[in-house]
Amino acid sequence: MEPETIKALIRRTHEVILAHAEELTDLDQAIGDGDHGINMKRGFDAIAAAADAIAELPCGKALEKAGMTLVMSVGGASGPLYGSLLMAMGKAMPEAPDSVGDIAKAFQAGVEAVMKRGKSEGGEKTMLEVLLPVATSLKDAGALDIGVLRKTADAGLASTKDMKATKGRASFLGERSIGHLDPGARSSALLIHAVCDVIEGK
């Protein structure tokens, strides 16, 4: 992956998180600690500040560096979870990925790292409601279909509204967590869209 592409990915994901930080905080105030937007902004500010250094690395190493940056700069659950996602993806990514299969395997490794770190699985009203179906879409795809990835992420996010949270701070609310979108699923969907934007050249 070319340095300019890595910079574009960093720039676009940063823009999206900045634009939606207040929304993420509002969602988290409803069912969590209320710090998800603040933490995500802090983490992606740090990645953006290190963009030049990250972009000079091979794709896998760049993902690992970005993940470590999140872990080192973000408190709460989002830093370790998103950091684990990116670091595991980086370790599983070939130096020069050249197929959907390469991306799918790396993304699956990242999702499995999130599951392990969070001791969680699908159906518990977390970011996994977006990440797991996107991983399946990538695995099943013969070619990269951006439209399918966007719709899959959106459907996963929407599914969290009617779920009862059984993991994290939201689980303390029990039935009262029903009717709210999960903030981690929302940030995951936003980031999937941001990556799709770069792939489409937007």
Give me the CATH number covering residue 101. Answer: 1.25.40.340
Overall average pLDDT of the 37-60 stretch: 96
Residue 170 has a pLDDT of 64
Residue 169 has a pLDDT of 62
Overall average pLDDT of the 53-65 stretch: 96
pLDDT (tens digit, 9 = 90+) per residue, 114-167? 999 999 999 999 999 999 999 999 988 777 889 999 999 999 999 999 988 776
Contact by Cβ (8 Å): 189, 153: yes
Residue 175 has a pLDDT of 75
Contact by Cβ (8 Å): 70, 79: yes
- On the question of pLDDT at 47 being above 70, the answer is yes
Q: How many Å apart are CA 26 and CA 35, to the nearest integer?
A: 9
- On the question of pLDDT at 76 being above 90, the answer is no
Overall average pLDDT of the 22-48 stretch: 92
Q: How many Å apart are CA 167 and CA 66, to the nearest integer?
A: 26
Residue 180 has a pLDDT of 87
Q: How many Å apart are CA 91 and CA 95, to the nearest integer?
A: 10
Domain count, the chain: 1
Overall average pLDDT of the 17-25 stretch: 96
CA separation (Å) from 155 to 16, 44, 47, 74, 116? 19, 25, 28, 27, 24
Host domain of residue 147 = 3-200
* Residue 172 pLDDT class (50, 70, 90 cuts): low
* Residue 201 pLDDT class (50, 70, 90 cuts): confident
* Residue 174 pLDDT class (50, 70, 90 cuts): low
Overall average pLDDT of the 165-190 stretch: 80
Residue 195 has a pLDDT of 96
Overall average pLDDT of the 71-100 stretch: 90
